[in-house]
Chains A and B, each alone.
Chain A
C-alpha cells in the first residue's frame, strides 16, 4: 500500500467506519422492532404458544429441524408444518405422539419425548402461530 496512506488513517477508517455502521445497524434494528407487531401477530401469542416455545426449547427440537430455515438440516422444516399438515393441530399432535421409542430400523426417526397433553397442545399452538408469521413468502413451497 502507498506511503501516503498511513497507519493512523487506516486506524481512523476502522474505528470511524465500524462505529458509524454499528449505529446505523442499531437504527435499522429499532425501526424493525417498531414494524414487527404487524408481521409477527404478537397479539396471538397465548399462554399455550408461550408454553409451546418452551417445550420446543427444552427438547432441543432445533437440533434436528429448521424453523424458518434456521437450525439443523436433518429433519423437515417446521415453520410451515401446520399448513403442510392441512392446518391441523391434531395431525401434529398425532405425529409427535406416535414416534416409536426404539426408532425405525435403518431410518431416521424422531425420538419419543413422552409429552403431556398440555405440552402437546402447546407445541401445536406454537407451530400454528409460527406458520402465520409474515416471512416474505418463504419457504418457496409447502414442502418447506
Chain B
C-alpha cells in the first residue's frame, strides 16, 4: 500500500465478502425450492429468497467496485484520496441501507414493505432486480454521487491515467443509468424498454468499463508490462464492448412489444459481443507471457487469469448461444437464460472483484506482497471449487433449459409449464448439488483469510 487513504478500501472488501456469503446461502435455498416446492413456505417464499439472492449480488458487487475504486484511484493518480472520511461515512450509509433493505424483504410481506416505505409517492418497486424500496434507491444514488465526487476530486488533482479515466467513466455511467430505475410508466412496454437502460446498459455496458480497468490495473501491477501496451489493449477491448453492447440492447427488444427491426439490430450486434471477451482472454495471457516479474501473489494471478476465461464462456459463449432472434424465440425466458446469467455474472463480475480483493487485501493488511503459501493454496482451492461447480451449475441449467424448450415449446403436443418442471427435476437436483459445492468453495475462500504463516516477500 503506497498511500494511506487506500486503507478505506478494506471495509468495502470485507462487506462485499460477507454479503457474498449471504447471497450464496439464499442461492442454495432457491435451488432447493426448485425441487422441494414447499421448502420454507410460506415463511420465505421463492420470490422473496430470489430477491435477496439477486439484490445481495448487486450490492456486494457494488461494494467490490467501490472498494476497487478507492484502492486504485490514489495509486494511479499518485495522490491521497480527496476525503477518506467521506468514503468511510458512505460505507456505513451503504451498508446500513443494504442490510435494512434485506431485513425488510425478509421481515414483512413485500406489499407491506412497499406501503411503509411510501412506494405510492414514487412507485419504483416490484420490477426485477430493482425491487429495492424507493428510499433505498435514493440512498444508492446519494452514495454513488458522494463516491463520484470524492474520486473525481482526487483525479482532478492527480495524474490522469487511461485506467482511471475508464474506471471513472464506468462509475459515472453506473450512476447515471441507475436513474432510469426511477422511471416507471403505467405502460408496461415502455417500462420494459427503459428498465433495460439500467439492467443491460449496466452489465453489458458501463460495468464492462469497470471490469476492464480493474483487470488492466491488476495486470500492470502483477506482470510489470509497460503501461502503454496494457492501456492500448484496454481501449480496444472496451471500444468493442460498447460498440457491440449498446445496440446489442436490441436482443432484449425482440418480444416485448417493440418493432420487429430490433430482431436484426439485436441479433447482429450481440453476435459481436463475444469478441471483446475473447480479446480479453488473449490480452491477459499475452501480458502474462510478457511478464517482467514473477509476482509472489499466485492466487491473485489465478483470479485475474480466470476472469477473462470465465467471462468469455459465460457472457460470450453462453450469451451467443441464445441471442440470435430465431433461437431466442424458443429459449426466451427459460432455464437457458438462467444458465447464462449464472456463469456470466460469476465469470465477469464476481471473479474480477475477487481478483482485486486477492491482490489488494494482503497489502491492505500490511503484508509485503502476498499471503503465506499456505493461505494462497487454500485460496486457490476455493478458486477451483467455486469455478468448477459454477461450470456444472451452468451445464445442468442448460440441460434443464434444452429439455424445457423441447417439451414446452417445440414438441408437437406442448406440455404445460408445471408438468415440464416435474420432468426436468433431475437437472435441478444436480444443480443443487453443484450449488452446495460452490457454497463449500466459498467457505474455503473465507477460511483462507484466517490462515497465517510466513508471508511472501515482494520481488523486484
Contact = CB atoms under 8 A, between A and B. Distances in A.
B127 interface: yes
B431 to A, nearest CB: 12
Interface in B37-55: 37-38, 41-42, 45-48, 50-51
Interface string A98-121: 000111111111011100000000
Interface in B207-263: 228-229, 231-233, 235-236, 238-239, 242-243, 246-247, 249-250, 252-260, 262-263
B128 A71 contact: yes
A18 interface: yes
Given A35-B259, A58-B119, A7 B38 contact: no
Contact of B259 (A32, A68, A74): A32
A91 to B, nearest CB: 14
B189 A143 contact: no
A143 B417 contact: yes
Interface in B107-128: 110-111, 114-115, 119, 123, 125-128
Interface in A64-78: 64, 66-77
A53 interface: yes
B452 interface: no
Interface residues on A, range: 35 or more
Contacts of B231: 7
B189 A58 contact: no
B228 A108 contact: no
Contact of A71 (B48, B333, B335, B410): B333
Interface in A11-29: 11, 13-14, 17-18, 21-22, 24-25, 28-29
A57 to B, nearest CB: 3
B239 A25 contact: no
A57 B126 contact: yes
Nearest to B114: A58
Nearest to A40: B189
B329 A138 contact: yes
Contact of A1 (B119, B189, B236): B236
Given A21-B242, A29-B193, A57 B125 contact: yes
B46 A74 contact: yes
Contacts of B111: 58-59, 113
A142 B409 CA distance: 9
Given A101-B42, A113-B111, A135 B255 contact: yes
Nearest to A56: B126
A87 interface: no
Contact of B257 (A21, A22, A39, A109): A39
A59 B256 CA distance: 21
Given A109-B37, A143-B408, A136 B235 contact: no
B367 interface: no
Given A70-B333, A106-B38, A135-B256, A130 B188 contact: yes
Given A18-B239, A25-B247, A73-B335, A108 B33 contact: yes
A5 interface: yes
Interface in B49-95: 50-51
Given A58-B111, A133-B257, A108 B408 contact: no
A10 B239 contact: yes
Nearest to B228: A7
Interface residues of B, number: 77
Contacts of A31: 259
Contacts of B410: 140
B18 interface: no
A134 B415 contact: no
Nearest to A18: B242
Contacts of B235: 7, 10-11, 13-14
Contact of A36 (B48, B110, B128, B190): B190
Of the listed residues A17, A40, A64, A143, the one surrounded by the most CB atoms of chain B closer than 10 A to its CB is A143
Given A21-B246, A68-B257, A133-B188, A109 B125 contact: no
A141 B409 contact: yes
B451 interface: no
B153 interface: no
A36 B189 contact: yes
Contacts of B126: 56-62
Contact of B330 (A21, A112, A126, A140): A140
Contacts of B228: 7
A92 to B, nearest CB: 15
**Which of B257, B332, B335, B416 has the most chain A CB atoms closer than 10 A to its own CB?**
B257
B337 interface: yes
B414 interface: yes
Contacts of A35: 259
B152 interface: no
Nearest to A25: B246
A29 to B, nearest CB: 7
Given A73-B334, A143-B408, A57 B50 contact: no
The 5 closest A-B pairs by CB, nearest first: A63-B47, A57-B126, A69-B333, A108-B37, A10-B235
10 contacts: A1-B236, A32-B253, A63-B48, A63-B51, A63-B110, A69-B255, A71-B333, A108-B37, A108-B418, A133-B188
Interface of A: 1, 5-7, 10-11, 13-14, 17-18, 21-22, 24-25, 28-29, 31-33, 35-36, 39-40, 42, 45, 49-50, 53-54, 56-64, 66-77, 101-109, 111-113, 126, 130, 133-136, 138-144
